[in-house]
Amino acid sequence: MVNLEELYSAVPPTKIRNINERFLPAQTSPFWLWVADRYFYGMLEKRFHGFYYKGAEKFYIQKEPDTPIIMYAPHFNWWDGMVGYNICNRIFKKEIRLMIEELNRFPLIRRGGAFSVNKKSPQASMKAINYAVEAMGDLNNILYIFPEGIIKPPLHRPFELQTGITYIAEKAVKKYGQVALMPVAVNYFFLRDNRPEVLVEFGDIIHLTNDKPDRKEYTHYLGTILEELCNKQFDDIRNGRLSGYDTLFESKLRWYRQIEQWLKKSGMRTNSGL
């Protein structure tokens, strides 16, 4: 049995295992993207009652058309990567480029757009960083990253981003002239069903045109923006402010929940408190 205190480690897995894993780039193709699209979408549909998002219009209104983009989000659990895939593929119709540790253990994920990173040392990470910058040059790609670098406990605060996100951004600015950064708040809540629901909110686009920002200050700034967005989303949800969300998918309520909803509308009391 796993001790709860051991669930979250401040040390990346590649450092713990101390293995020099070879770099693996993403290796997509129309066939494998078709497979990944149905597999990752189907898994979410099976495990979650619904997937809702808002603020997606900012991607089209606020971002310059020829500017590469980095989407960055907190990393709370195993589902975050699948959520990111569906954000890029289903909502924005782009290919994800997702940096994953220990990809050598799950190489098939490369077919969906993942590429490996070895965090054993800064030098070992350079191949992944350089690949990320190159991948952003294809505007059909979205670089989707978890800048804290490790899984953190749900709803932890404050966010402590690693400077790698700024390093990637400044290298992209040097190569492409500017880069757009978009914070993404993701939460999982039980709201209407015995399965949780995914709620995603996209923040305002941040444009970086300076290829030499103060790395620590800018990273802290990006972390503050992400934390404010996540706090706002959580405050909205806990106060029942759920308007403005679009639906990626929504399952039908189970029969007993449909009966409860019918009783509620008819004015009859139910033992569930609804």
Lowest mean per-residue pLDDT among 118-127, 155-164, 178-187, 227-236: 118-127
Q: What is the pLDDT of residue 18?
A: 75
216 within some domain: yes
271 within some domain: no
The domain total for the chain is 1
273 within some domain: no
Compute the average pLDDT of residues 117-121. Answer: 84
Q: What is the pLDDT of residues 252-263, one digit of tens each?
A: 766 566 666 666
With cut-offs at 50, 70 and 90, classify the pLDDT of residue 236.
Answer: very high
Of 264 and 204, the structure prediction assigns the larger pLDDT to: 204
Contacts (Cβ under 8 Å, ≥6 apart) of 179:
67, 68, 69, 70, 136, 169, 172, 173, 207, 208
Q: What is the pLDDT of residue 273?
A: 39
Q: What is the pLDDT of residue 274?
A: 36
Q: What is the pLDDT of residues 58-109, one digit of tens each?
A: 999 999 999 999 999 999 999 999 999 999 999 999 999 999 988 888 888 9
Q: What is the pLDDT of residue 192?
A: 81
Q: What is the pLDDT of residue 28?
A: 96
Q: What is the pLDDT of residue 147?
A: 96
- Answering whether pTM is above 0.75, one says yes
With cut-offs at 50, 70 and 90, classify the pLDDT of residue 247.
Answer: very high
1 within some domain: no
Compute the average pLDDT of residues 170-176. Answer: 97
Structure tokens at 107: 């190489």
DSSP class of residue 11 equals S
Burial 106-119 (b: 16+ CB within 10 A, else e): eeebbbbbbbbbbb
Of 233 and 118, the structure prediction assigns the larger pLDDT to: 233
Point out which residues pair with 197 in neighbouring strands.
50, 189
18 within some domain: yes
Dist CA 10 CA 162 (whole Å): 12
Dist CA 260 CA 26 (whole Å): 47
Kindly report whether the peptide bond that precedes residue 122 is cis, defined as omega within 30 degrees of 0.
Answer: no
Q: What is the pLDDT of residue 267?
A: 66
The mean pLDDT of the chain is 90
154 within some domain: yes
Q: What is the pLDDT of residue 193?
A: 82
CATH of the domain at 102: 3.40.1130
Domain span at residue 109? 8-266
Of 3 and 35, the structure prediction assigns the larger pLDDT to: 35
With cut-offs at 50, 70 and 90, classify the pLDDT of residue 121.
Answer: confident
Q: What is the pLDDT of residue 11?
A: 82
Query: Percent of the chain at pLDDT above 70?
Result: 91
Q: What is the pLDDT of residue 256?
A: 62
- Given a cut of 70, whether residue 42 has pLDDT beyond it is yes
